[in-house]
Amino acid sequence: MAKKYRIAWLPGDGVGVDVMDAARKVLDAVGVTADYVPGDIGWEFWRKEGNPLPERTIKILKETDVALFGAITSKNKEVAARELAPELQGKGHVYTSPVVAMRQMFDLYSCVRPCKAFPKNPLNYREGIDITIFRENTEGLYGGVEFFPIPEEVRNAIEKNNKKMARFNKFPAADVAMSTRIMTRTGCERIIRKAFEFAVANKKPEVTLVEKPNVLRETGGLMVDCMKKVASEFPAVAWGEGNIDAMCMWLLKNPDRYHVLVAENMFGDIISDLCAQLVGGLGFAYSGNIGEKYAIFEPTHGSAPKYAGQNKVNPLATILAAMMMIEWLGEKDKARIIYEAVSKLVAEGKARTYDMGGNTTTSEMADAVIAAIRSR
Ligand code: IPM
Ligand code: MG
């Protein structure tokens, strides 16, 4: 008998709901058997409860095998504070991205983002691009150690240890903000190792580190060190490195030269969007946030509030995220069926959502994937 999974179902905000409905139909069509446990997450819960990731949702994540997540509306601190329900204002609630929070809370350290051009996708920058990004997902610039203002003792302690801080300490405390980029050997090594393991398993010739060690000497330097060490454990795979700025240029110039990229959190975030655009934009960008025991899969796009509930956006990213999710659960055959159905549908070009230049709706696109599955 087929295994029955418990899948946390987190549509989130805006178009998250539309695309998750589409993914659910496809999961049903390939015969995934699961209890789908809906969880509250997103802007609505921030406004009403002062917490976009309520405790009850965290409990669901702890009790399920895996999660599929739709999209989230993120706004900056001031806007978030203003939109909070009047009775919650001024009570010290601080908005932090629930996606980032889940990644850190469950130690989902590998953010894996496949960027593969489906043949004949009209949105392909070039045919044949096949890049997989391994983005460190728990530390670095998005590690959440930030100050504004910086406490006096922190300012002084830093200046005592690093004279360059004096330049900033000349300004009034209220005018200086600081976000740190903290990286650990453990954090760097484990994401790099995942990238190499993937390269071996998928016969990729090379892993490329995206960093900036010429400027970020300490953290970047640590990452390069870890790269050298881990690379030596995988003699069959070549390795290279490029600076984040130059890589943005090289990826546009020679996207076929790259296969597997590994990067710290923010640099991985940046190249993810760049590589997503090479293969069709956010309608095709999907990812897995993967830890040792738990994983959350998601389309990489945002909640596109202006299209919410309009049955308009491209659901393929979420359908592919669902595919990646069942593959992680061990359902390789079913995952393959979805992959082939999406490939076929894109190549045929009959169903195209607005981003692809057509007028196929979200639900029609899901139906087209299902039709491709059935016509095998
Ligand atoms: C992503 C997104 C998120 C991130 C945002 C929504 C917090 O850009 O998944 O790439 O920066 O990680
Ligand atoms: Mg991003």
Atom of ligand 1 nearest to the CA of 266: 11
- Answer whether residue 196 shows pLDDT above 80: yes
In a domain, 224, yes or no: yes
Q: Does the bond joining 149 to the residue before it have cis omega, within 30 degrees of 0?
A: yes
Residue nearest (by alpha carbon) to ligand 1 atom 11: 269
- Domain at 271, CATH number: 3.40.50
User: Looking at the structure, do residues 106 and 3 belong to the same domain, yes or no?
Assistant: yes
Q: Give ligand 1 pocket residues (Cβ under 6 A).
A: 74, 97, 99-100, 269, 272, 300
Across the strands, what pairs with 132? 114, 260
User: Looking at the structure, do residues 172 and 233 belong to the same domain, yes or no?
Assistant: no
- Answer whether residue 1 shows pLDDT above 80: no
Atom of ligand 1 nearest to the CA of 111: 9
Atom of ligand 1 nearest to the CA of 97: 7
Q: Half-sphere exposure (CA, 13 Å, Cβ side) for 132?
A: 25
Identify the CA nearest to 342 among candidates 34, 26, 131, 31: 26
User: Looking at the structure, do residues 215 and 268 belong to the same domain, yes or no?
Assistant: yes
User: Looking at the structure, do residues 273 and 301 belong to the same domain, yes or no?
Assistant: no
Q: Of the residues 240, 255, 278, which one is the last residue of a structural domain?
A: 278
User: Looking at the structure, do residues 257 and 315 belong to the same domain, yes or no?
Assistant: no
Atom of ligand 1 nearest to the CA of 287: 9
How many whole angstroms from 90 Cα to the centroid of ligand 2? 30
Q: Which ligand is closest to the CA of 299, given by its number?
A: 1
Q: Which ligand is closest to the CA of 12, given by its number?
A: 1
Q: Of the residues 248, 278, 308, which one is the last residue of a structural domain?
A: 278
- Domain at 305, CATH number: 3.40.718.10
In a domain, 141, yes or no: no
Atom of ligand 1 nearest to the CA of 137: 12
Q: Which ligand is closest to the CA of 74, given by its number?
A: 1
Domain count, the chain: 3
Residue nearest (by alpha carbon) to ligand 1 atom 9: 300
Which tens digits make up the pLDDT trace of 113-166? 999 999 999 999 999 999 999 999 999 999 999 999 999 999 999 999 999 999
In a domain, 78, yes or no: yes
**How much is the pLDDT for 161?**
98
Residue 25: phi and psi, rounded to 5, are -60, -40
In a domain, 203, yes or no: yes
Residue type, 348: E
**How much is the pLDDT for 84?**
94
User: Looking at the structure, do residues 110 and 12 belong to the same domain, yes or no?
Assistant: yes
Indicate the pTM of the whole model.
Answer: 0.96
Residue type, 182: I
104, 109, 133, 269: residue to mutate for ligand 1 pocket, most atoms within 8 A of CB: 269
Q: What is the C-alpha to C-alpha distance for residues 356 and 350, in angstroms, rounded to an integer? A: 11
In a domain, 124, yes or no: no
Identify the CA nearest to 208 among candidates 190, 222, 196, 221: 196
How many whole angstroms from 182 Cα to the centroid of ligand 1? 18
Across the strands, what pairs with 33? 4
Q: Which ligand is closest to the CA of 69, given by its number?
A: 1
How many whole angstroms from 319 Cα to the centroid of ligand 1? 19
User: Looking at the structure, do residues 47 and 30 belong to the same domain, yes or no?
Assistant: yes
**How much is the pLDDT for 2?**
81
The distance from CA 81 to its chain's CA centroid, rounded to whole angstroms, is 25
How many whole angstroms from 265 Cα to the centroid of ligand 2? 10
Which tens digits make up the pLDDT trace of 77-101? 889 999 999 999 989 999 989 999 9
How many whole angstroms from 262 Cα to the centroid of ligand 1? 16
For ligand 2, a single-atom ion, which residues have Cβ within 5 Å?
A: 269
Q: Of the residues 218, 244, 278, which one is the last residue of a structural domain?
A: 278
Categorize the per-residue pLDDT at 268 as very low, low, confident or very high, splitting at 50, 70 and 90.
very high
Categorize the per-residue pLDDT at 76 as very low, low, confident or very high, splitting at 50, 70 and 90.
confident
User: Looking at the structure, do residues 297 and 338 belong to the same domain, yes or no?
Assistant: yes
Domain that holds residue 78: 1-116+286-376
The token pair at 353 is 């959502």
Categorize the per-residue pLDDT at 369 as very low, low, confident or very high, splitting at 50, 70 and 90.
very high
Q: Half-sphere exposure (CA, 13 Å, Cβ side) for 336?
A: 5
In a domain, 123, yes or no: no
User: Looking at the structure, do residues 301 and 343 belong to the same domain, yes or no?
Assistant: yes
Atom of ligand 1 nearest to the CA of 74: 6
**How much is the pLDDT for 88?**
94
How many whole angstroms from 263 Cα to the centroid of ligand 2? 13
Residue 206: phi and psi, rounded to 5, are -150, 150
In a domain, 122, yes or no: no
How many whole angstroms from 269 Cα to the centroid of ligand 1? 7
Q: What is the C-alpha to C-alpha distance for residues 89 and 86, in angstroms, rounded to an integer? A: 5
Q: What is the C-alpha to C-alpha distance for residues 329 and 189, in angstroms, rounded to an integer? A: 24
Q: Which ligand is closest to the CA of 136, given by its number?
A: 1
Task: Sort 359 into a burial class: Cβ within 10 Å, 0-12 / 13-18 / 19+.
Answer: exposed
How many whole angstroms from 267 Cα to the centroid of ligand 2? 10
Identify the CA nearest to 193 among candidates 258, 260, 257, 142: 260
How many whole angstroms from 293 Cα to the centroid of ligand 1? 22
In a domain, 121, yes or no: no
Identify the CA nearest to 114 among candidates 198, 9, 237, 201: 198
Atom of ligand 1 nearest to the CA of 100: 7
User: Looking at the structure, do residues 304 and 363 belong to the same domain, yes or no?
Assistant: yes
Q: What is the C-alpha to C-alpha distance for residues 362 and 342, in angstroms, rounded to an integer? A: 14
Atom of ligand 1 nearest to the CA of 298: 9
User: Looking at the structure, do residues 211 and 265 belong to the same domain, yes or no?
Assistant: yes
User: Looking at the structure, do residues 157 and 228 belong to the same domain, yes or no?
Assistant: no
